Chains A and B, each alone.
Chain A
Amino acid sequence: MKLLRLAPENTKFPFMRFRRVSYPFSALLSIISVVLFLNVGMNFGIDFSGGTLIELRAKTGEADTAKLRSIAEHLKIGDVEVQGFGGVTDVTMRFGLQTGGDAAQQAAVNRVKDAIGGDYEVRRTEVVGPRVSGELVQSGTLGVVISIIAVLCYLWFRFEWQFAVGAIIATMHDLLLTVGFFSLTRLEFNTTSIAAILTIVGYSLNETVVVLDRIREMMRKFRKMPTDQLIDVSVNAVIPRTIMTATTVFLALLALVVFGGQVIRSFSLAMIWGIFVATYSSIFICSPMLIYLGLRGDTVGSAPAPVTKPARKPV
């Protein structure tokens, strides 16, 4: 049987030459992400903004978003966002925090349910109060920051410091671009998205570690090779594996996007973007960083050593 190979064998692709393109390119994307985040912001779900979400399914026929919108307007509960959700029968209603604290939230939910109860089945209700949402933001951010620090410590311990720094810069890059992705696509950002972000961090680190592992191995093997060549050799060696793994994870995520249901779709889409960015950054951001950080500083210093040691030459 002829086996499938996505990556050509024995590639000699000069990856490191692309750092002159990839760095400005990534810098530009990062700046765009920050600008988007600051100016457009994220489409925060009620987990973070507080408020109420009600998912409805029309008992008969299609959901009439226009009618729901007009019903909602009469209830005087502030701006109500009515959106189709998956199929034609499903719709979500979202409205913000009510003035008057937690009790007012509950009252608003009941009024909405009373107003539309007859024609729609209430499939899901989520009410998050202002204090809880604030705490979710805090614990979410804390989770991301602490996991990055913990992983940094682990890498520092296992590898040279340049590797840890390179890995962290690549991870931050992925994080930033994922934030930009959420901002650009308006995908809802909720606690499950935090799970997505942390998984992207994990995946990104996994990719980075696999490449770094090979670089370290090559360093021992080819003691005198210049760093950029060394990295090229290493990346070329792992590229079949990288393509293979990215494809399998992509296939699994594709199944989630298509069949996993509306609730986790934003998670799956973000993850697909994440594996793409993580693969790119492990090769084009993390690895070239080793060149700039002077990975071979000590070896370069000792390279001319034989010249300065005439004593060992047989006379």
Chain B
Amino acid sequence: MLRFPAWKITSILLMTAFALLLIVPSLLSPAHRDALISHVPKWLPIRTLVLGLDLQGGSHVLLEVDSNSVVKTLVDNLRDSVRRTLREEKVSITGGIGVVPRGVQLRIPDPAERARAMPKLRQLAATFGSGITDSARAPAFDVTENDNGLIQFTVTDAGVDSKVRRAVEQSIEVLRRRVDALGTTEPNIQRQGADRILVEVPGLQDTSKLKEILGTTAKLEFRLVAEPGADPADVEPLDQVDNPGKLPVEKRVMVQGEDLTDAQPGFDSRTQEPVVNFRFNIRGGQRFGEVTSENVGKLFAIILDGKVISAPRILGPITGGSGQISGHFTVESANNLSILLRAGALPAKLTIVEERTVGPGLGQDSIDAGKRAAYVGAALVAFYMLITYGIFGIFANIALAVHVSFIFAGLVLLGATLTLPGIAGIVLTIGMAVDANVLIYERIREEAHLGRSIISALDAGFKRAFATIVDSNVTMFVAAAILYFLGSGPVRGFAVSMALGILTSIVTAVTMTRMMIALWYRYKRPVKLPI
């Protein structure tokens, strides 16, 4: 008990000093923190505690890729490819290419033509939709053929999975570009589960703008407005943004938003209305030039997410590779549209399945409440320990203070996020760390009552209590670990604080207290135990 080697004392003191250094930047005000960062060498990692959105305010939005729309796009693209293949092979079909819920079907009545087309169609199905990045390379479609000449393409589950996965990846890229353009600090965008994307934007006040920017697909298309007498099969009526009623528009897409290289808000030189100026890449510029020169005098519809924004008349060929979208924008909506166009279109529709927004006022209130509770709780516990155990209580309280700084240092080191339940977890481990000391002290008292000498009572107290402390802490730790792996968000934050608290309490409540008592004993040589 008395022998407490110098290296142990030194390492405990070093650990404590290290922990305190780690949490200093978090305690400073932002201005002082910047001053500190500019005055210390660059290689020193200065990190601050990450506060959860519930504490600092901000938005948490969970989006889900609509797998139905992914499948629909896939099937639509397949239908176009099938049609092209049949046209190339000059195969005639009866009844057109029908879209069924999970695929397409067609009928080739002539067996000879069918025999000629099938290898091509099978090859198409085998390679369709699987890019070079797909590791599984599972075919996206199954093909069946019956004697009546009915051929069916059905989407496979693997095909849907890989499409959804790719859609999620692409969406994350697009969303990142969009959110970055909002100019907020450190947004967090990550995949969650198979088909979800979590977007966390700290400190954002206007969430409706965020949601609008996240939820918009931003698929831009240029199509010709259908002339009277056009084949109804090639025409679809679309809603208009400005006018009531639908506008008949050709199904064929002339130029796509994918070919845009830039989009900027601006003002129309004549009307002074806000507009969006855009620029195409070479392919898009050429195509745009061809279409406008071949269709002078016709109406050209600019379509965003299936709605006609405007349909200006083509006055002459536009060959410069740039153009303008006008459509009764406000400055803000022109700005939003240009952000969306610059960032590109989402590959699939995203729906908001969960949203949590904490205003900055509430966040600050929560921090204040949490701090107040932590101070009061710590003061109550410390006072209670002092009046119960006297000098040993002081040792326990010092260990407790170090314990709390270890938890915060651990959070800083791990880069973990402190949430409101996390603060609750810390307050709780303050109580639990005390339990370790209580177990030890009560045991010491018991052993002293049994008539042992002071030194052997101290020794036995620590030794016997230790087994119990390990058992109970491991049990708690198991619960915390499972909480971490199965929980999400705030529950996770709680588990991290709790697990850290349990781990550090073994060092502080057992080893550190023991050290202090050993040093005290060596110095004081008491004849009677003070507890």
Query: Which A residues are closer than 8 A to B by beta carbons?
Result: 1, 3-6, 9-10, 55, 57, 101-103, 105-106, 109-110, 113, 121-129, 131-132, 136, 139, 142-143, 146-147, 150-151, 154-155, 158, 191-192, 194-195, 198-199, 201-203, 205-206, 209-210, 213-214, 217, 237-238, 240-241, 244-245, 247-249, 251-256, 258-261, 263-264, 267-268, 271
Contacts and interface: CB of A to CB of B under 8 A. Distances in A.
B427 A256 contact: yes
B404 to A, nearest CB: 12
B388 A252 contact: no
A106 B377 CA distance: 40
Interface string B383-398: 0110111100000000
A109 B215 CA distance: 15
B82 to A, nearest CB: 32
Given A201-B479, A238-B442, 17 more contacts: A4-B387, A102-B351, A121-B359, A131-B353, A143-B486, A151-B475, A191-B490, A199-B425, A217-B464, A237-B446, A240-B445, A245-B434, A247-B384, A249-B431, A253-B377, A261-B370, A264-B421
B242 to A, nearest CB: 22
Contacts of B518: none
19 contacts: A4-B388, A102-B352, A103-B351, A121-B361, A123-B359, A124-B359, A131-B64, A192-B491, A195-B491, A199-B428, A209-B471, A217-B464, A249-B432, A251-B384, A252-B430, A253-B427, A256-B427, A260-B373, A264-B420
A154 B373 CA distance: 34
Contacts of A210: 439, 468, 472
B483 A206 contact: no
A209 B420 contact: no
Contact of B479 (A151, A213, A256): A151
- Which applies to chain B's interface (DSSP): helix, strand, loop or mixed? helix
Nearest to B426: A252
Nearest to A138: B486
B490 A192 contact: yes
A109 B489 CA distance: 22
A201 B480 CA distance: 10
A106 B353 CA distance: 9
B196 to A, nearest CB: 9
A125 B357 contact: yes
Interface string B219-237: 0000000000000000000
B426 to A, nearest CB: 10
Contacts of A268: 424
A24 B119 CA distance: 77
A127 B356 CA distance: 6
B180 interface: no
A150 B474 CA distance: 11
Interface of B: 54, 62, 64, 207-208, 211, 215, 351-359, 361-362, 365-366, 369-370, 372-374, 376-378, 380-381, 384-385, 387-390, 420-421, 423-425, 427-428, 430-432, 434-435, 438-439, 442, 445-446, 449, 464, 467-468, 471-472, 474-476, 478-480, 482-483, 486-491, 494-495, 498, 531
Contact of B362 (A123, A237, A241, A247): A123
Given A139-B486, A151-B475, A252-B380, A132 B428 contact: no
A248 B435 contact: yes
B431 A245 contact: yes
A55 B357 CA distance: 10
Contacts of B365: 261
6 A-B pairs closest in CB distance: A261-B369, A255-B377, A249-B431, A260-B373, A129-B353, A143-B486
B54 A205 contact: no
Given A143-B482, A150-B478, A263 B420 contact: yes
Contacts of A128: 353-354
Contact of A258 (B352, B376, B432, B478): B376
B424 A267 contact: yes
A113 B357 CA distance: 13
Contacts of A1: 390
A129 B421 contact: no
A123 B483 contact: no
Contacts of A247: 384
B474 to A, nearest CB: 6
A253 B488 CA distance: 23
B490 A106 contact: no
B380 A251 contact: yes
Given A191-B489, A251-B384, A147 B353 contact: no
B428 A271 contact: yes
B475 A125 contact: no
B476 A206 contact: yes
A142 B486 contact: yes
A211 to B, nearest CB: 10
Contact of B421 (A121, A192, A253): A192
A158 B431 CA distance: 25
A106 B211 contact: yes
Contacts of B366: 261, 263
B158 to A, nearest CB: 23
B362 A252 contact: no
Contact of B431 (A9, A113, A248): A248
B439 A195 contact: no
Contacts of B357: 122, 124-126
Given A206-B432, A252-B427, A263-B366, A122 B352 contact: no
A252 B404 CA distance: 14
B12 to A, nearest CB: 24
A40 to B, nearest CB: 25
Nearest to A237: B446
A264 B376 contact: no
B479 A125 contact: no
Contact of B373 (A105, A237, A259): A259
Contacts of A154: 474-475, 478
A202 B424 CA distance: 15
A136 B525 CA distance: 58
Contacts of B420: 261, 263-264
A146 B64 CA distance: 28
